[in-house]
Structure 1
Amino acid sequence: MTVITDEVLARPRALSDVVREALAAGAPTIQLRLKSASARELLEAAQTLMPIVRSAGALFIVNDRLDVALAAGADGVHLGPDDLPVKDVRRVADARAVTGARAVDA
């Protein structure tokens, strides 16, 4: 199971509080998804959440942004249909990095 963050649904609570609750409930993976955030905001959120997720022994995935995932030291990246191709991500990212991609019917 992957818990995907949503800054709108989390309000008025802090995203970190929601992530802590998910981890306490046993979530093995947290995916940081902040569609309206800039790269800088996404990186700041990743740097805030990463220690929380790691201390729980869970995986931390960044949505869409390989650059942010790499900069934050995330365990992987989730790619959408408009993001980098998986084969290109695999060339750049550590071989151990989790790479997820959305499958879309053609």
Structure 2
Amino acid sequence: MQSAQATGQHVQADRTAAGYALCDPGSFCSWTEPHFRGDKYSGAEPVEPNGCDDAPPGVAVQSIINNTGMTYAVGQEGSCAAPGRVFYVQVGESPTLPFPVRSVSWCRDC
């Protein structure tokens, strides 16, 4: 499995069978440690066309599997209102991220 590589403002994610075993199809899953370890947070593809979710206070995500079919923007700072440094996670696996993530946003209408 390759680690995520920052390519401009995007993270190139890989797709493997292991990723589908860890994260249900149609879900966005994240872990507090690299390589899908630590506490897991997951959710189904959002119904709302646009939105943002903050990580719980004190939590930072360090690996992601995106099985939704959408691209998500993830932010380094503490909230959706002020995400700070942002990059985009395409469909697939990102076992390591360029920085800890504290917010996740999406936009179907953009």
Q: TM-score w.r.t. structure 1 length?
A: 0.27
- The answer to which structure has the higher helix fraction is 1
Structure with higher RCO (Cα < 8 A, 6+ apart): 2
Greater Rg, structure 1 or structure 2?
1
